[in-house]
Amino acid sequence: MCRFHGSLNPAGSQIITNLIQIVYASQPFGFDEPTLAGILLDARRCKKRDNVTGALVCRHDLYLQLLEGPEVPVRATYARILQDDRHAGVRELLNRRIQSRFFANWAMLHDPVKTWIWTEGEIADAELDRAEPAEIIKIFRDLSDRSGKPAMH
C-alpha cells in the first residue's frame, strides 16, 4: 500500500509534503481511566486507518493534543474531536505545515501532565491561550525528545 501523501513540485522532483500539525486544548468532561482508555482506543484506530499520529497531554483540568499527518485526515479527525462530548471548550492553538512528524512511531503518545507544564491555577487563568506558538511547539518537541526509542502505542 502506498503511504505517500506528498506531491511533486511542478518544476522538478522536489517533494512537497502535505503534512500538518494541529494542536488544541480543551476541558475534560468526566475525566477517568475508562474514558481515557476509550479515547486512546479511538486514536489507535485512527492511526491504523488514517496514519494520523500525535500526543495527548492530559490532566483532570486539561487535554492538550497534537494531531499530525496528511492534511485531509488530520482535519477530519479534528472535526470529529470537536463534536465529542467527552470534553468541552475546544480551542485550536496551532495549525501549521510540517516537513516531518514529532511522533511518527506513536499512534497517540499519552502523557499525564507533569510539573513542567502550567499549574492548575494558570490553566484556570487561560494562560495556555496566551502562549506563543513557539512555546506550544516546544512542549511537544520536548515530549517527543523524551519519548525515547520508537515504539508502537
Ligand X SMILES: Cc1cc2nc3c(=O)[nH]c(=O)nc-3n(C[C@H](O)[C@H](O)[C@H](O)COP(=O)(O)O)c2cc1C
Evaluate whether 98 touches 20 at the Cβ level (below 8 Å): yes
- Which of helix, strand or coil describes residue 75? helix
Evaluate whether 44 touches 108 at the Cβ level (below 8 Å): yes
Cβ distance to ligand X smaller for residue 8 or 41: 41
Per CB under 6 A, the segment of 1-9, 83-91, 111-119, 128-136 that binds ligand X is 83-91
**78 makes contact with ligand X (CB under 6 A):** no
Please pick, from the candidates 22, 23, 64, 65, the single residue that binds ligand X as defined by CB under 6 A. Answer: 65
| Cell numbers describing residue 17 | 509534503
**92 makes contact with ligand X (CB under 6 A):** no
Evaluate whether 81 touches 28 at the Cβ level (below 8 Å): no
| Cell numbers describing residue 118 | 502550567
Give dist(CA 12, CA 33) in Å, integer.
Answer: 51
Cβ distance to ligand X smaller for residue 51 or 77: 77
**53 makes contact with ligand X (CB under 6 A):** no
| Cell numbers describing residue 145 | 525528545
**46 makes contact with ligand X (CB under 6 A):** yes
Per CB under 6 A, the segment of 3-11, 74-82, 95-103, 126-134 that binds ligand X is 74-82
**91 makes contact with ligand X (CB under 6 A):** no
Give dist(CA 1, CA 82) in Å, integer.
Answer: 30
Task: Summarize as ranges the residues that interact with ligand X (CB under 6 A).
Answer: 39, 42-43, 46, 56, 63, 65, 67, 77, 80-81, 84, 86-87, 108
